Amino acid sequence: MPIAFVVGFRHELASGRACGLHAHAVWEMVYHPRGSGVTHAGGHELAFQAGDVVLYPPRVAHDQVMSSPGEDWCVQVRGFTPPPELNGCCWAAHLAEDPAAVAELAWLTTGSATADVALASTRVHAVLHAALARRRGAGPAIATVPASMLARRAARLAADRGHEIDGVAALARMLGSSSDWLRHACARAGVESPQRMLTRARLARAQALLAHTGLTIAEIARQSGYRDDRYLVAVFRRELGCTPGQLRGGRSRALRGKAR
């Protein structure tokens, strides 16, 4: 069955529970030009932010809980067959950086689309292609990953490569997630925040480099994931109560004392 446009419409969304659990007989795309929140679908949670489109499979009950007020543009589609790993899964993509796809969604959620279903179906196909191309990550759909598993993956990745990862947003992208959902998953799993994971990994690397190399503080900062030595010094003062130079000097004195 070819992809076919069914209907498009828009809602203004207040903070809080914007809509209760419901399901549709066809796929539904929900684009959020404004606002952020969480949707519950198929027993899992998926965070979204402004610029995200969330896709719900047929007959999967879902809701929306808004953390900030916004709007959604809803498009229902018949005949869409996703890649096998997405079949039956709720998934999301960030479309804000694809103005052509956003323009198509804007048109599809006006009365013009219902007046020309054939053209609307062609435009729906283009939006679905854009969403698949921009789906978060290359792994399983986000909604199929329990919070505890995502948190464990984040902890391992931060420990192994924290010095290479440029912030929580980059860590989330590497996991096929969003910053909001990753923070929520870590909180729900009862572990430290993603930012704390990265900070701890970077500090551990900086301390190892201080102890075992003669690199300058500036070079250690760079190799530990900090933008400059001043920022590294500030983090050391906050987290360890000393500067990198003081830590290195203290260790040097301790080693000289043992040698006597």
Total domains present in the chain: 2
Among candidates 78, 62, 60, 82, which has minimal Cα distance to 133?
82
If asked whether residues 60 and 20 sit together in one domain, one would say yes
Query: Hey, which residues does 13 pair with through a beta bridge?
Result: 70
If one counts every other C-beta atom within 10 angstroms of the C-beta of residue 191, the result is 17
If asked whether residues 126 and 37 sit together in one domain, one would say yes
User: For residues 129 and 83, is the Cβ–Cβ distance under 8 A?
Assistant: no
If asked whether residues 34 and 140 sit together in one domain, one would say yes
Q: Which of 109, 144, 179 is the last residue of a domain?
A: 144
Please give the residue range of the domain that contains residue 81: 4-144
3-state secondary structure of 256: helix
Q: Which of 81, 109, 144 is the last residue of a domain?
A: 144
Pair of tokens at residue 14: 């207040």
CA torsion 201-203-208-214 (nearest 10°) is: 130
If asked whether residues 160 and 240 sit together in one domain, one would say yes
Q: Cα–Cα distance between 71 and 123 in angstroms, integer?
A: 21
Whether the full predicted model's pTM is greater than 0.75, yes or no, is: no
Amino acid 231: pLDDT: 94
Amino acid 145: pLDDT: 53
Amino acid 8: pLDDT: 96
Helix (H) or strand (E) holding 64: strand 62-78
Distances (CA, A) of 109 to 13, 82, 84, 144, 153: 16, 22, 28, 28, 38
**C-alpha R_g of the chain:** 24
Find the CATH number of the domain harbouring 190: 1.10.10.60
pLDDT per residue of the chain (260 residues) written in tens, 0 to 9:
789 999 999 999 998 877 887 889 999 999 999 999 988 886 677 889 999 999 999 988 888 889 899 999 999 999 999 888 787 788 899 999 899 999 999 999 988 888 899 999 999 999 999 999 888 643 334 444 566 777 888 999 999 999 999 999 888 878 766 777 788 888 888 899 999 999 999 999 999 999 999 999 999 999 999 989 999 999 999 999 999 999 988 765 544 444 44
Amino acid 144: pLDDT: 44
Find the CATH number of the domain harbouring 107: 2.60.120.280
